[in-house]
Structure 1
Amino acid sequence: MKEIIKQILPFWAIECGQLLQIYPTAWEINSSYVIKIYSDKKQLERNIKISETLLNCDIPVAKTVLTTDGEKYVEYNNRYFLVSHKLPGSNISDIKDQTMAWKMGCAIAQLHTAFIKCEKELEFGDNSLLNEMKGWIRENLATDGWTLIDEKEYSKTAAMLESVYDLLPKQLIHRDVHFGNFLFFEGHLSGYIDFDLSQRNIRIFDVCYFLAGLLAQETDDAFTKLEWIENVKSVIKGYESIIHLTENEKNAIPCVMECIEILFAAYFIGKKDTKHAKDAYNVFHFIQNCESDIIKAIKISEVNV
């Protein structure tokens, strides 16, 4: 791929000095640009539209670099290449930092606020975590013979989600919130990246995805229960400094996190990836055992907002 990138960079009048792969489909160029490769033209054009719309709302996202012919991307060998300016900042390395947890909560809420403002300009169909739970997720678990997650466990969690789902606010969300996609420079948010999975769904999905994802980090310095609960408190407090969650949302947070981990377990089962499926189940079980502590932490953060 390096050679192909070198061949097409003249379309942007960019000289190829240093070329560094930063993601499976993205390369950093000369510490100044990022080139991303797409196989799906519609997804590429959708992402360009999201970025342009968010920029108009003064949200820090990467700005597209036009080709010398004024085009937004280049098609080459049945792939689509997009070049954007590299945003300042980097990923957070200390995932236990409570101040950064609070700032992440703020950053998620700021993005949600912008999404609400510009959602009418973007065409997205509704996606439903509940429909996924009752659809492909259940099918994958059943096909596997319920060997990892017991059918009763699944049914109880799905029923809890269904009982409150219609009461949960829906909007456009990022859908892939983790420290790798939110950049910080000198302690301040400097940019959002990667809108490949953006969709309309329940609003708290992004918050729950981020919090559950902290437990899934493959690191030697794993969270203790107390450390993670403190992060839950900080993230919710940061989020609610900008957007107030409804009472139904607060009560549904443990259930939504559990559903997300069931989703991951079912996904990895479908990929025959037993290790990561078990990891997801372990996180699911951990969250189950923390339900009352999570609700208590949310209530405490509510008092302090």
Structure 2
Amino acid sequence: MIEPLHDILLNWKVHPSSIETVESHPNVYKVKSRKKTYYLKKRLNSSVEKRIEELLLTSFLLEKGLPVERPLLTVSQQPYVQQHPVFYSLYQALEGLPVQVYSLSSMEGVGTYLSQLHSRLKQYVCKYKVEEWKVETHLREWIGGKETKMIERWGEGFLGRLNEWSYSYRKLPHQLVHSDCHPRNILMKEKRATGIIDFERIRKAPRIADVCYFLAGMLKDQVKQREDEQLECIHAFMGGYQSDGTLTQEEKELIPFLVIIFLLQYTFFYNQKGYSHVVSAYIPFINRLVNSGDYQRAFQM
């Protein structure tokens, strides 16, 4: 597999000294060349339009002063190499490492960065059509399945609230969002957010979809942490996000349950994969959050 990658990298005039697969990301390769680090990403189910949109959007964000991962141009001035049906894009590594430590100062920094990202995404005009992010679709499919396993019966208890929540959520203003801003896609250095990577899945949705996707990713990493530590991190993130623009009261009221929706999706996904030990930890954790007044209050600033 490595030798064909050498040939692909020649499209950018990159002569690698080493190529290795990134752990847990089989379609991402870490490339070392002349003291520089790159990431070669293999895109499946993509298109020319998506690859061009990624270049235009990330160039716009960089022009607006926000550090993001932008595809490099090949010698033929394209942001990709196509080997039908696969696309390859190359990126120079940004400063920093993925979020690993959830300190109050780092969460405040991530909140501020994400707010700045949203304000700039709101200004961007897409060249091509971008699909809507229907955050509850898979959850409804899982809960509405014909099986009667314990986890499906447990999930049914959220359907009534989901229907009520969806009506209010759909009325919120929609804009361009990252839609994949989990903690591994946000980079930090010395408790400072230094950039965001992977604009493969840009979509239209209320901005709180990105907010809640990140917070759900943070909470699932903190299942074994004390409740007060989890809630302090939420509060710090919300404070950082609102330092650059205030959320409406309606958004604040919808956020706690949207975080639960994403945690439910993680739970059903892991159940589908057969990770019963993860599911057995997530179910009581989610139940505790749903019934916690402190959890609801953590989002209010």
**Alignment correspondent of 2:114:** 108
**Alignment correspondent of 2:175:** 171
Q: Which amino acid counterpart does residue 75 of structure 1 have in structure 2? A: Q
> When you count helix as a share of all residues, which structure comes out higher?
1
**Alignment correspondent of 1:69:** 76
Taking structure 2 as the reference length, what is the TM-score of the superposition?
Answer: 0.86
C-alpha separation in 2, matches of 1:155 and 1:206: 22
- Following superposition, the deviation at residue 272 of structure 1 comes to 4.9
**Alignment correspondent of 1:60:** 67
Distance 1:7 1:255, change over 3 A: same
The aligned runs of 1:272-291 (5 Å cut-off) are 272-290=274-292
Partners of 2:53 and 2:127 within 8 A in 1 = no
Identity of aligned residues (%): 22
**Alignment correspondent of 2:299:** 298
C-alpha separation in 2, matches of 1:62 and 1:244: 27
Distance 1:284 1:198, change over 3 A: farther
Partners of 1:254 and 1:287 within 8 A in 2 = no
**Alignment correspondent of 1:36:** 41
The aligned runs of 1:97-136 (5 Å cut-off) are 97-121=103-127, 123-134=129-140, 136=141
Distance 1:122 1:187, change over 3 A: farther
- Following superposition, the deviation at residue 122 of structure 1 comes to 5.3
Structure 1 residues 161-199: Cα deviation after superposition (integer angstroms, max 9, x where no partner) = 135224433222222222211112344322110122321
Distance 1:58 1:155, change over 3 A: same
Q: Which amino acid counterpart does residue 293 of structure 1 have in structure 2? A: D
Unaligned 5+ segments in structure 1 are none
| Equivalent of 1:191 in 192, 195, 204 | 195
C-alpha separation in 2, matches of 1:143 and 1:195: 35
Unaligned 5+ segments in structure 2 are none
- Following superposition, the deviation at residue 280 of structure 1 comes to 4.4
Q: Which amino acid counterpart does residue 228 of structure 2 have in structure 1? A: L
C-alpha separation in 1, matches of 2:186 and 2:108: 13
Distance 1:143 1:274, change over 3 A: farther
Q: Which amino acid counterpart does residue 82 of structure 2 have in structure 1? A: E
- Following superposition, the deviation at residue 24 of structure 1 comes to 2.1
- Following superposition, the deviation at residue 100 of structure 1 comes to 0.3
- CA RMSD in angstroms, aligned pairs only: 2.5
**Alignment correspondent of 1:148:** 151
C-alpha separation in 1, matches of 2:81 and 2:136: 38
Partners of 1:41 and 1:80 within 8 A in 2 = yes
**Alignment correspondent of 1:6:** 6
Aligned residue for 1:28, secondary structure, equals: strand
Distance 1:214 1:187, change over 3 A: closer
C-alpha separation in 2, matches of 1:57 and 1:285: 42
Aligned residue for 1:67, secondary structure, equals: coil
C-alpha separation in 2, matches of 1:50 and 1:126: 17
Partners of 2:45 and 2:85 within 8 A in 1 = no
Taking structure 1 as the reference length, what is the TM-score of the superposition?
Answer: 0.85
The aligned runs of 1:157-168 (5 Å cut-off) are 157-168=161-172
Distance 1:152 1:70, change over 3 A: closer
| Equivalent of 1:215 in 213, 219, 232 | 219
- Following superposition, the deviation at residue 228 of structure 1 comes to 0.5
C-alpha separation in 2, matches of 1:71 and 1:130: 35
Q: Which amino acid counterpart does residue 38 of structure 1 have in structure 2? A: R
Partners of 1:53 and 1:121 within 8 A in 2 = no
Partners of 1:233 and 1:297 within 8 A in 2 = yes
Is 1:226 the counterpart of 2:228? The answer is: yes
